[in-house]
Structure formats: C-alpha cells, structure tokens
Amino acid sequence: MKNQLHQHGMTPDLNHDEAAREEAVRAMRFHIYSQVSQGTRGYFSNVVAPEFEKANGRPLTDRQEVRAVMEARPYVQLHLSLQRSVQEVLWNTVVETVERQLPELNARARACARGLGSLTLDETLEMPRYVANVDIHCMPGGYGYDGGVPDSVAAGAIYDRGITMYQRGAEGNLGLSVIHYLRENFPSFRPAKILDMGCTVGMSTLRYCEAFPDAEVHAIDVAAPCLRYGHARAESLGYPVHFSQQNAERTTFADDSFDLVVSTILAHETSTAAWHNILKESRRVLKPGGIMVHADLPQFSDIDVYSQFLFGNETRYNNEPFWSTFRAMDLKAAMEQAGFAPDQCFLDLATMVDREMGFRNTKVTTAARTRSGQAAPGFGWGVQVGIK
Amino acid sequence: MAETPPRTKLTRVARGKRPKMFDHWPDDVFMSMLTAVTTELMVMRDRMDTIERIAAAKGLILKDEIDRFVFDDAARAEREAARKALGDRIFYLVLQQAERNKMPKRKG
C-alpha cells in the first residue's frame, strides 16, 4: 500500500489504513471530477440551458446567471455538496497522518539540511490579509499553520500530502509548463538567476533547478512552515534553492537582480491591490531584458460560460475568495500599470505539460475549442508575460 | 518510529464560511457523513482484503478463529479508541459545527 512514487526526505510514513484512506479519497475524487461533473455539464447543456432559452428567448451568457439557475437544481446541489465533503475528508485524512508524526517530521526537517541551498526566515513578517483571513482550499489552519509547535513544518507537510492526492505524480507540472513555454517562445533564453514567488513547498521551484542547472534559484513565500518543509524537501532531493520568508509585494532583493521571475498559481490567491504590487515588484527586481512569467488558470474570457461557472465554484466552495475577481481582471492593463512597455507584455496560454513533456487533457473547455467544435490537445495555463 | 507523547492536536477546521448546498442544513451534514462512511468502508474493505491475502498465503483459515476470539481488556480498549476515531471522521461536520459554535467570532 505504500506510495513509493515521488518519495523525498520529508515524505511522511503511511500506515495501511492511511494509505487506503488516501486511495479512497482519490477514488471518490475520480467519481466526482469525471462522472458526477460530466453529469452536471450534460445536465446544463441538455436540460438547464435549453429550458432557460425557451423561457427567456435568449441563451445563458453570464456566469452569475448560470450559477443562479444551476444552484436551484437538486442534482447540482448534490454534486457541489459531495465535492465539498470529499475535499474535507481529504484534509482530515492528511491532517491525521501528519498529526501522528509531526515531531518526527519537524526533526527530519532540521536534519535534512545538506548546505546546498539556504533557509532564511523572518519572524517579523506580517501575514497578508488574503492569506491570514481564510484557509485557502479549505486546508485546515492555512499556509502558515504550525500547530503551535516551534520549528514546525505542519502546513508544509499537510499541503504536500494534499497535493499528491489532488494530482499524484503531477507535482511541479505547472513549473514544467512554464519552462516548456519559455523554450518554445524564448529558445535562446538561459536565466542565470531565477526568483519563484509564492513557492509554498517548492514543487514547481525544483523544476527550474532541473531545467537550468547552472542557475541560482531563489524562492519566497510568506509561510514559514511551508518554507521549512520546502527547504528540507529540496535538500533531500539534492536541489540547491535559497528559500526566504518574504512577501512578493515588497521583497528585500535589489533592483535588477533576476533574469527570470515566475509564480505558479499564486495570483488568484492574492488580491487586486496585492497583484498590482506583485507585478510592480516583479519588474523592479528583473534585470533589463529579464522575463516575468506568472502562470495561473486562464481568464474567464478564455473559457466558455459553463466552465466559468464550474471554476467560479472554487470561490464559494473551496475558499478561494479572489478567484473570480482575478479571472475577470484586465491583466494586460495591470502589467502596463506596473511599468512594462505595452509591446513588451502580453497574456498568453501556455500548453499544459507533464514530466515527459507530453500533453495532458483536462476537464476545461476553452472558448476556442467550443467554437471549432474540436478537442484541442490540452488546455492552456493563463500566463502573464512581461519583458523589462 | 519512536512515539513522542503527548501528541499535539492539529485543527480540522478551515477558516472561511462553509456554503450551504441544500435547503436544509442537515442534508449537507448527511452528505458529509456519507462521504466519510464511504471512505471508511473502502479502507475497511482494503484491510480485510490484505488480511485475507496474508492469511491465505500462510495457509490460515481465519473464519473459525474469528468467531471464537475472546478480547482481553487491552484489545478492547484499542478497539474502542479505533471506533472513536472512526466516529470522529464520520461525524466530522457535526463535531465541526460544535467547535465553531464554541469559538468566538473571528474578524474577516
């Protein structure tokens, strides 16, 4: 029953029932995200949307309207209720495993350092409100959670285990997708110094170490337990990363420090004001000619109205308060406001790739796919690209 | 692995409003319980399967032994603790609501 894949120095021990419980949660997630979810999409296109059009003489075009008509339907209530409950069982499963062995995990983290990279914590750093006020993804305690224990890796261990249940074997794929995007669009680009903002436990960060082995890689986050865990994880896997506890809105790095500044699925967990600050800070720390790539899920304008509704659910059902606001933001204007020249910044879709650089399909239908009526080889991550 | 009692209890409560999916809140609770029960049923099925396979590999026929088995106090206590942990998982949402009801209101 032991999961031998993707082991690293911080992988918690799983006893028989804990491993079985993880498999059970994966099985239920599969049911929800393939079967139940497809049922909801079919219900929308076959029943709810035609009924609305007949009654109102026009199609459904607005995600709020889709929400209103969908949430009134018992099947949709069942789907959303089940989804939320499985999410809670997922975290309960993980928390129990971590709780049982937290002192040992903390000790392992302290012993993991091999002097490859570094860990710099700042106890005085104030947690930004968007992280402090809500537990994103319903992860109990949130990113900064230490369980009241000094030198704790609690939130890092809980997050890492949770992610492996979300996407076993896909850890860091978003980083890979950004690297793939850079190779396609900037083939001669070889960054010597890289900054990963909002790295959490550094899953994507390590992909940059792999892809650019000569580069000096820095990773920042506001959450100490995640950084402790991420540092130990990176050291155990043999990757040199300099982790530091910093807010990406205002870092301590000097102007013109980095060739590449990246983030992966950070943006939608911040706030409008914070994201403006982070874009500005990204540009400040970039060297002239340096490249910024912030990757997140695509903007609402890139996906059909049903997918907008489906993704919009994350805001209400998975504690992602900024998700919908972010995805309706004018990011091109925001990059220009941050100082990027209009012809040196743009929004794009980066192909989703996995470790073997193969395409991965997902449940998302982009507007382009709907128009052509054909399945695309994958779906895109939304990337905000700026060149200083 | 060395045990280091007492164990620090980690929170199971995620801050942020839990949306109500059904018209009646208890229906949400039933779904939560059903999800947990399903999980535990899958876990138990896996465990039984493991036991049966190990036993079969050793040539053991367990059925008669199971029916004749007498519990001592230690075994009874261990089983009681496991049953309590199972209940904590299945009654998660009811227990969480109880916790939330006990907590002072947070800002934000």
* Residues on chain A touching B32 (C-beta within 8 angstroms): 85, 88
Mean pLDDT of A47-75: 91
Whether B12 contacts A131, CB under 8 Å: no
Q: The tokens of A340 are what?
A: 């990027």
Is the four-CA dihedral A368, A373, A376, A378 of positive or negative sign? positive
Q: Choose among A78, A93, A135: nearest Cβ to B16.
A: A135
Going by their DSSP bridges, the two strands A193-197 and A216-221 should be labelled as parallel
Q: What is the pLDDT of residues A221-255, one digit of tens each?
A: 999 999 999 999 999 999 999 999 999 999 999 99
Residue A108 pLDDT greater than 70, yes or no: yes
Say which CATH architecture domain A164-387 belongs to.
Answer: 3-Layer(aba) Sandwich (3.40)
Closest CA–CA distance from residue B6 to any residue of chain A (Å): 10
- Out of A113-117, B49-53, B99-103, least confident range: B99-103
Whether A148 contacts B8, CB under 8 Å: yes
Q: How many residues does chain A have?
A: 388
A243 beta partners? A119, A219
Helices (H), A113-241: 129-132, 154-166, 173-185, 205-211, 224-237
Q: What is the pLDDT of residues A280-328, one digit of tens each?
A: 999 999 999 999 999 998 888 777 888 888 877 777 778 888 888 888 8
CA distance A235 to A219: 13
Whole-number pLDDT of residue A365? 36
Q: Which of B21, B41, B107 to mutate to test binding with chain A, by most A CBs within 10 Å of its CB? A: B21
Residue A219 pLDDT greater than 50, yes or no: yes
Q: Choose among B7, B28, B35: nearest Cβ to A99.
A: B7
Residue A146 pLDDT greater than 60, yes or no: yes
Cα–chain-centroid distance for residue A34? 21
Closest CA–CA distance from residue B19 to any residue of chain A (Å): 6
H helices, E strands: number in chain B: 4, 0
Going by their DSSP bridges, the two strands A216-221 and A118-120 should be labelled as unpaired
Mean pLDDT of B10-18: 86
pLDDT band for B2, please (50, 70, 90 cuts): low
Closest CA–CA distance from residue A198 to any residue of chain B (Å): 20
Q: The tokens of A124 are what?
A: 């005085």
Q: Which of A3, A16, A76, A81 to mutate to test binding with chain B, by most B CBs within 10 Å of its CB? A: A81
Closest CA–CA distance from residue B42 to any residue of chain A (Å): 6
Q: Do B43 and A141 touch (CB under 8 A)?
A: no
Q: Do B47 and A16 touch (CB under 8 A)?
A: yes
Residue of B108, B96, B84, B42 lying closest to A85 (CA atoms): B96
CA distance B49 to A232: 36
To the nearest whole percent, how much of chain A has pLDDT over 70?
91
Whole-number pLDDT of residue B1? 53
CA distance A172 to A204: 4
pLDDT band for B3, please (50, 70, 90 cuts): low
Q: Do A141 and B34 touch (CB under 8 A)?
A: no
CA distance A294 to A279: 9
Dihedral Cα A93, A220, A204, A267, nearest 10 deg: 80
The rounded mean pLDDT for chain A is: 87
Closest CA–CA distance from residue B72 to any residue of chain A (Å): 23
Which three-class secondary structure string do you get for A76-89?
HHHHHHHHHHHHHH
CA distance A294 to A221: 15
Residue A351 pLDDT greater than 90, yes or no: no
Residue A142 touches partner B, C-beta closer than 8 Å: yes
CA distance A49 to B31: 27
Cβ contacts of A345 within 8 Å, gap of 6 or more: A332, A335, A336, A384, A385, A386, A387
Residue A356 pLDDT greater than 50, yes or no: yes
Q: Choose among A84, A129, A316: nearest Cβ to B108.
A: A129
Q: Do B35 and A95 touch (CB under 8 A)?
A: no
Residue of A23, A362, A33 lying closest to B38 (CA atoms): A23
- ipTM score of the complex? 0.70
Mean pLDDT of B3-32: 84
Whole-number pLDDT of residue B105? 62
Residue A145 touches partner B, C-beta closer than 8 Å: yes
Going by their DSSP bridges, the two strands A345-351 and A258-264 should be labelled as unpaired
Residue A370 pLDDT greater than 60, yes or no: no
Residue A371 pLDDT greater than 50, yes or no: no
Whole-number pLDDT of residue B106? 56
Q: pTM for the whole thing?
A: 0.86
Cβ contacts of B84 within 8 Å, gap of 6 or more: none
Q: Give B25 or A206, the one with higher predicted confidence.
A: A206
Q: Do A104 and B4 touch (CB under 8 A)?
A: yes
Q: What is the pLDDT of residues A147-182, one digit of tens each?
A: 999 899 999 999 999 988 877 666 788 899 999 999
Q: The tokens of B55 are what?
A: 């036993």
